[in-house]
Amino acid sequence: MAHGRNAKMKVLVTGADGFIGSHLVEMLMKSGFQVTALAQYNSFNSWGWLEDIENKKDLNIVSGDIRDQFFCEKISKNIDFIFHLAALIAIPHSYISPGSYIDTNVIGTLNICQSAMKNNIERILITSTSEVYGSAQYTPIDEKHPLQAQSPYSASKIASDAIAMSFYNSFELPLTIARPFNTYGPRQSARAVIPSIISQILYGKKEIKIGDTTPTRDFSYVEDTCRGFTELINNKNTIGETVNIGSNFEISIFETLKKIKTIMNSDVEFVEDQSRLRPKNSEVYRLWCDNSKIKKLTGFEPKINIDLGLKKTIDWISVPENLIKYKADIYNV
């Protein structure tokens, strides 16, 4: 992104306290944007992963909740671009608390779209997920693939995408729906398989409990996903479009774990734990991204392959002050 123009641009990032959001904030700040970062309100005054970023003092951090329309309208004033990432994202947790996924992911997106309209926002990026596709009916998965609600999380994101697209169709709200495939890297929570396995190996476990390792995924390193977001929002051809972000490289969970073991020089054993298996119709067996649309529209190319990305992630989690944030004895959902 060019520095000159960005210096004047004001950007709001929701979900900025989270894994991907905190990296996006860092990237936007480096490019010269003036960033307002939304952290979810809590009584501990914690800004989540924003606590760990450099130059926090140059950031406008606001605490609040996207479920509140009044609040969303207030923080969107005098903003040029909105990156909307805030969401509840854990699939197992969505089995036990589906209503909260509707409140946050659907009503939250509605509130952001309404606020963007009221405040004449120039560009909005809505974050979807490859989970909306469910198990691949054909591969690689392009944006025309049917949507299958295999979990309440997926259903809430399908609804979020639909409400956003309805605002483009009905009111010409200048938005793009970014649909990232599985993203990994520093700061990802231990509910995800890659950081969970790395942290358990680092804590010296000899046996690690694991769910089904046969499903395949298309992993993107977090910096590639964030660059995909910025390239989409900076390009007028993406308005009103839904666009995949992924690596176009399919790998099974089993092969991913093998790579982690090799890089870490570990002899850990993996043991299948029945309680971690997802209900059969809910498990997404195959995800493989067709990323030709984003390439064609923006020239985007993923830069960090899985081996390098895993190495960078392992290096980061290995730092003691990072590792201590991972609770290896708990099954995080």
| Residue numbers at the binding site for ligand NAD (CB under 6 A) | 15, 17-21, 38, 40, 48, 65-67, 85-89, 104, 108, 127, 129, 180, 182-183, 189
- Closer residue to ligand NAD (CB): 21 or 302: 21
The rounded distance, in Å, linking the Cα atoms of 295 and 305 is 17
Cβ distance to ligand NAD smaller for residue 266 or 287: 287
Cα separation, 196 vs 210, in Å, equals 10
Nearest approach in angstroms of CB 60 to ligand NAD is: 15
Nearest residue to ligand NAD, by Cβ distance, number only: 18
Write down the least CB distance from residue 89 to ligand NAD, Å: 4
Q: Which is nearer to ligand NAD, 15 or 140 (CB)?
A: 15
CB of 183 vs ligand NAD, minimal distance in Å: 4
User: What is the smallest separation between the CB atom of 108 and ligand NAD, expressed in angstroms?
Assistant: 6
Nearer to ligand NAD, 6 or 94 (CB): 94
In the complex with ligand NAD, the residue whose CB is nearer, 67 or 209, is 67
Taking the least distance from each CB to ligand NAD, the nearer of 40 and 151 is: 40
Give the shortest CB-289-to-ligand NAD separation in angstroms: 11
Q: What is the largest CA-CA distance in the chain?
A: 57
Task: Tell me how far, at minimum, the Cβ of 184 lies from ligand NAD, in Å.
Answer: 7
Q: 57-93 burial by CB neighbour count: b if 16+ within 10 A, else e?
A: eebebbebbbbebebbbebbeebbbbbbbbbbbbbbb
Cβ count near 273 (within 10 Å): 12
